[in-house]
Structure formats: structure tokens, C-alpha cells
Amino acid sequence: MSADQVMFTLDESEQVTHWYNVVADLPTPPPPPLHPGTHEPVGPDDLAALFPIELILQEVSTERYVEIPEPVREVYRQYRPSPLYRARRWEQKLGTSARIYFKYEGVSPAGSHKTNTSVPQVYYNSLHGVRRLTTETGAGQWGTALAYACSLFGLECEVWQVGASYDSKPQRRTLIEVFGGSVHRSPSRLTESGKAFPEGHPGSLGIAISEAVEVAAQDETTKYALGSVLNHVLLHQTVIGEEALRQLTKAGEPGADVVIGCAGGGSNFAGLAFPFLREKLAGAQSPRILAVEPTSCPTLTRGEYRYDFGDTAGLTPLMKMYTLGHDFVPSPIHAGGLRYHGMAPLVSHAVHEGLIEATALHQNECFEAGLEFARTQGIVAAPESSHALAQARREALAAAESGAEPVIVVGLSGHGLLELGAYEAFLAGRLEDDPLSDADLSAALAGIPQI
Ligand SMILES: Cc1ncc(COP(=O)(O)O)c(C=O)c1O
């Protein structure tokens, strides 16, 4: 390695062969999901209407490693291993003694980490003759990733896009259509869950999930795919952290001091962080691991750790997670992918057990960091990812003050080239910080079921 190396790549022959399941190493087991009617732990049969058996088994697996099927690895090879970069120019701009590395998932066909799970999800469904997949999408990244994977394996893809994003990002919709998917504005008139809301309602991920689940449950040849939150989704994302660990070694770093990711439903964060958490639990490294969320949707930092539904209509199993309440409709902040009322049960459990930390940031600070990053590193980060950058910036500036030399690893979950409207609003000074008020928080929390 040269002293000023910037990009740390892995050869195709060094491709990760197994996903990592953190459940095997957690000091205490995470609480099981419950059936919404009986409040008993859900069994495989309860999930069979929505998911293929392989994903159900991964959902409940306690095995430490799950082999990645060759057809999935073959698609991964189109964009993985993704690069790990040392952000030297940004470090210089910040005047920091910290060493900042970012793991860049924007190189995937859909422009974000979401392809890491859309490909295996569609692959497993394709083994069972499934004709169509339904899903929700917030920012549009997940819908794009699923449409792409469906086009590879010959399935139809029908997406309910959160109304606020549908209205503000017509190009995302077009990209989903380019990959062969079809898109509905959520809440739509096509489902009972959608009809419960007035036309033109801005929507939420919770409502869009209800719509997609409702349609899948009514048709035997249709199944549902979720882009975050569930254990199997987090499992698929661990290729990010597994690669990053190997790449850090190539960069001559024995480990990370801080690992940072943005958290909407928790999947890119967990994908990067859980392999580092394994090292931490084994005593091989001791990083602080930090999830960053927006102050307008502060699930981990102000929500309650309770059983709640994953969707608005209450169609999903009850999951023990940090939640703001399934009725919560966040203000339409520009990081659409971070507007979710709940958080992955595994991420929630790890926060509750004190294994990882969480913090919330205002969106203007995040865009400021995003702009600085673009102007130094040349990459326009997705607004979601800019939350991780803003926290890395805080850590780097603290190091500049103290003279410490921490190794900071940041998850850059996607590019923001289709989110330029958000950057335009920021540059024009039109973005408002809109932290959740105590009154709105209490009203939303009151909707959590008493279990
Ligand atoms: C680029 C990007 N990052 C992060 C997220 C948040 O999702 P998760 O927390 O599951 O990674 C999204 C969701 O749409 C996204 O598009």
C-alpha cells in the first residue's frame, strides 16, 4: 500500500461467500415477533403467505453464517466488492487528525445498498414460481432495486411509493419503470388500507407497507418483499461490513474506533455494523458503533422499546422494536428513506442492550456535510447517507480539537443523483429543521398497542 492510497478494493476472487447472522453472537436472544391476533410467537406458517421458505428460515435462523447462493453471488459480482475509500480530501478540509474511511454502496445498479437484499429476495421467490412481488418504497431506492432484481429473474414488480416522494421525485418513478416495475402513489385507491386515507395524503412507509401486504395476501402467485427492518434483510446487507473489515486490513488498520451508519429501518446500518459488532463482542476490536437518524423521525432516540406493528393498518406481526407508534406520519423531510416509525428489531435490541448507540441530527446539518463531502470527494451522497456523514464530521472535528487519531468508518449507503431536488432546496435556503414536537410524539406513542 502506498502512503497516500485512496481506494481499497477487493478482487472478485475475494468476494464474500457468507452472510453473517448476528443473532448467533448476541449475549441475549432478541424477543420473537408475535402474531397480531393471538399474541403468540409467529411460526413459519404465519409468514408463508408473504415470503418463500428460504427467507422465513433465515428470519428465524440462529446459525452464525448463511451461504450466499451462487446465482446471487453472480449478480453481486456486477458491483461488488464495493470500494472502501479513504476520504483524504475531506479530512484535509476538516483539518482533522482522524482517518475517515467510507464504504460506498452507490456503485450498485440501483444506486444504493438495497440491491444487496433485492437480488436474494427475488432469487428465492423465483425458485417457487412466484409471478409477482409487491412492495413499498420511500425515497424510491428500494423500489428501484427490487424492480432491477425482478427484471433479472423474470418476475413482475409492483411498487407503492410514499405519496410525498412520488410527487417530489418523478425521476425515481421513471427509473423503477425503466427496470420494468410499475408504481402507484400511496395511499392509493387500489387497496382498503389506502382508501382509509384522503386522496393527496402525503403517505408514509407504514401505509405503503399495508397496501403492498394487502395485495400480496390476496393472490397465491404474488408475494411481498420488504426493503428493511426484518432479520433476513439485515442478514443480506452484512456483505457491506464483511468487505469493509477486509478492506480496512488492506489499508493497514487493525480496526475501527467509530463505525457510523444512517438508520431508517436499520438495514444499511446493520449491514455495516454487525460484522464490526461481532469483532467487538469477540474482543478483537472496540469500536463505538453509532446509528444516526433524523430529529423529525427520532425512533431510536425518542421512541419506546415496545411491541408494535410494522405497518399502519396492523397487518404485520407485532415486533419488539423502538417505535414512535404505527400511526406516526413524519414530516416530509428530504431523506425519505429515514421516515419510518419503527426500527429493525435486531438494531433495536442491540441499542436496548447497550451494544450500540444512537443519535439524531437536523437535516440542515446533514446537507451541509453532504455539500462539503461532494465538494471534496466528488460524490453526491443520498440525503439519507448524509446523516452518517454529518456524524462523521462531528467526530472528525472533535478529533481535530483533541488531537486524537481515530479511525472512522462511515457507511455511504447510496448516491443522491436523483435527489438533487433536495440539494436544490438546501442551496436555496428552503430546508427547515423540523424536530418532532413533544405533543406530536405523545400522540403517536399513544397508538402503540398494549401487549
Ligand atoms: C440511500 C439510502 N440509505 C438509507 C436508507 C434507509 O434504509 P435502511 O435504514 O434500511 O438502510 C434508504 C432507504 O430508502 C436509502 O435509500
What is the H or E stretch that residue 148 is in? helix 141-153
Distance CA 321, CA 33 (A): 10
Which of 407, 220, 404, 215 has its CA nearest to residue 311?
Answer: 215
Which residues partner with 136 through β-bridges? 160
- Ligand 1 pocket, mutate which of 229, 237, 267, 380 (most atoms under 8 A from CB): 267
Which residues partner with 360 through β-bridges? 293
Q: Which atom of ligand 1 is nearest to the CA of 269?
A: 11
Q: What's the CA-to-centroid distance between 261 and ligand 1, angstroms?
A: 10
Mean pLDDT per 10-residue segment, the chain (451 residues)? 89 96 97 93 88 95 98 98 98 98 97 98 97 94 97 98 90 96 97 95 90 94 95 98 98 97 97 98 98 96 96 90 92 80 97 98 97 98 98 98 98 96 95 92 94 88
* Closest residue to atom 15 of ligand 1, CA basis: 337
Asked if 86 and 92 touch (Cβ cutoff 8 Å), the reply is: no
* Closest residue to atom 16 of ligand 1, CA basis: 141
Q: What does the pLDDT read at residue 85?
A: 98
SS3 content of the chain, % helix, strand, coil (to 5): 40, 20, 40
Which residues partner with 137 through β-bridges? 161
Q: What does the pLDDT read at residue 329?
A: 83
- Ligand 1 pocket, mutate which of 107, 293, 384, 391 (most atoms under 8 A from CB): 384
Q: Which atom of ligand 1 is nearest to the CA of 237?
A: 11
Distance CA 214, CA 263 (A): 26
Q: What is the pLDDT of residues 392-406, one digit of tens each?
A: 999 999 999 999 999
CA distances 415 to 164, 256, 272, 373, 393, Å, are: 20, 24, 17, 12, 18
Q: What is the pLDDT of residues 235-280, one digit of tens each?
A: 999 999 999 999 999 999 999 999 999 999 999 999 999 999 999 9
Q: What's the CA-to-centroid distance between 22 and ligand 1, angstroms?
A: 20
Q: What's the CA-to-centroid distance between 335 and ligand 1, angstroms?
A: 9
Q: What does the pLDDT read at residue 258?
A: 98
Domain ranges of the chain: 7-14+69-111+232-445
H-state helical runs in 282-416: 299-302, 345-352, 363-377, 383-402
DSSP 65-120: EEEPPHHHHHHHTTT-SPPEEE-HHHHHHHT-SSEEEEEE-TTSTTSBTTHHHHHH
**CA trace torsion 338, 343, 346, 352 (10° rounding):** 110
Q: What does the pLDDT read at residue 28?
A: 97
Identify the CATH number of the domain defined by range 7-14+69-111+232-445: 3.40.50.1100
Residues with CB under 6 A from ligand 1: 112, 138-139, 141-142, 228, 262-269, 337-338, 382, 384-385, 413-414
Q: What does the pLDDT read at residue 242?
A: 98
Which of 275, 262, 253, 288 has its CA nearest to residue 383?
Answer: 262
Task: Give the predicted TM-score (pTM) of the model.
Answer: 0.97
